[in-house]
DNA sequence: ACACAACCTGACCAAGCGGTCAAGAAAATT
DNA sequence: AATTTTCTTGACCGCTTGGTCAGGTTGTGT
């Protein structure tokens, strides 16, 4: 809290005026991240076909990994510790969201627009792969000779993820 | 340290007899995990073709996620915080390991045994996807109606990951 | 001008943390 | 049997942490 106050340029006591407890502040941070996360799914809706919808979703989530790497890490940390603070979000918002997207993907499968894979596990793969570039960004950077990914690197990463997954679900 | 000592059934001072500092103990834990991680790659070597090699690697890493979920989480946490303790491992052992596997995959590509994707990004996808079932195990469990994955669930997860990725790299 | 609410702040506090230490108990070596 | 090394332990310490509080300042409505 002292460090946050310093960075924010106010005394710690004043920070506690706005956020009574550390957990309250933390919860707000996680909520904000979760919102960003959910909005990336707008790409999914109204997509004419899986290649477009899932391709755009990958682009959106890769962009989030690039723009909000620390947000992604906070979310990962929260979940890794058993979601002590936002378990209710997992059980309600996230569960509903997931069920909705599974229905969309299943619709595409039933319409013969993509291979008959398990929509749920496809979603996990999308989450894992895109978030990896944020959560394990330091490892990726180390393996990139210690240099941050360039514009071209990010472009290639996006393209590779889309290439493999879209081919993997039989839409290219 | 007090909690670890309690679980181990000895006084904290005695724990400090074996591990002078908390960091020393932590480093040992991360090293052990890293060893397990690296050994999963044995599947890669001497594989006659990508379907066999990468398929076995996925199986091995999924099994690690199942058997050592906390180990995977510790590793993830360490990397997410910028690898303050095992940066040297990333820069040496991991970099060499990665370069080696990239060469193997590139060999398969050059021999026309699989699609010409970027081996590096394929590796990232393999790591991300398999480790997701450990690192985000709590989320997966919550979305599985709060129940741990059954034997059948794990079998399906493995199969789905292999299905999508192996098709994605053009070997099925 | 007055009153009341909202905001700001330095000093302070209890609790928890990693780590230390002196002294004793067990094992190993001679 | 004597001695030395290894192991075990309860009590203790300095430091950091999240959080509090009394009192001051600023803003707002009448």
State the Cα angle at A58 between A56 and A64, rounded to 5°: 105
- Where on the phi/psi map is residue A19: left (φ > 0), alpha (ψ -120 to 50), or beta? beta
- For residue A74, the tally of other CB atoms under 10 A from its CB is 17
Calculate the average pLDDT of chain A.
96
Indicate whether A42 pLDDT > 90: no
* Cα–Cα dist B127/B150, whole Å: 22
- Where on the phi/psi map is residue A112: left (φ > 0), alpha (ψ -120 to 50), or beta? left
State the Cα angle at B40 between B38 and B46, rounded to 5°: 105
Helix ranges (DSSP H) in A19-150: 22-39, 50-67, 69-80, 87-89, 95-110, 119-135, 137-142
- For residue A38, the tally of other CB atoms under 10 A from its CB is 13
When CB atoms are compared, the residue of B80, B95, B167 closest to A73 is B80
- Predicted TM-score (pTM) of the model is 0.94
Nucleotide nearest to B22 (CA to C1'): C18
CA distance A15 to chain B (A): 25
Indicate whether A44 pLDDT > 90: no
What pLDDT does residue A46 have?
84
> In angstroms, what CA-CA distances link B25 with B32, B102, B109, B135, B141?
11, 33, 42, 21, 30
Indicate whether A40 pLDDT > 90: no
pLDDT digits (tens, 9 = 90+) for A49-86: 999 999 999 999 999 999 999 999 999 999 999 999 99
CA→C1' distance for A115 and D17 (Å)? 54
When CB atoms are compared, the residue of B80, B90, B117 closest to A163 is B117
What pLDDT does residue B42 have?
85
What pLDDT does residue B98 have?
96
């Amino acid at each position: 809290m002292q460090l946050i106050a310093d960075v924010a340029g106010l005394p710690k006591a004043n920070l506690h005026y706005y956020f009574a407890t550390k957990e309250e502040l933390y919860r707000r941070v996680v909520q904000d991240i979760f919102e960003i996360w959910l909005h990336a799914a707008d790409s999914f809706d109204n997509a004419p076909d899986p290649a477009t919808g899932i391709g755009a979703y990958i682009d959106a989530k890769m962009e989030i990994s690039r723009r909000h790497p620390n947000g992604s890490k906070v979310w990962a940390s929260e979940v890794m510790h058993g979601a002590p603070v936002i378990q209710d979000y997992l059980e309600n918002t996230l569960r509903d969201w997931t069920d909705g997207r599974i229905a969309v993907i299943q619709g595409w499968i039933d319409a013969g627009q993509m291979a008959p894979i398990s929509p749920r596990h496809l979603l996990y793969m999308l989450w894992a792969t895109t978030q990896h570039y944020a959560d394990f960004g330091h490892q990726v950077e180390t393996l990139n000779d210690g240099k941050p990914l360039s514009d071209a690197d990010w472009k290639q990463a996006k393209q590779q993820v889309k290439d493999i997954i879209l081919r993997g679900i039989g839409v290219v």
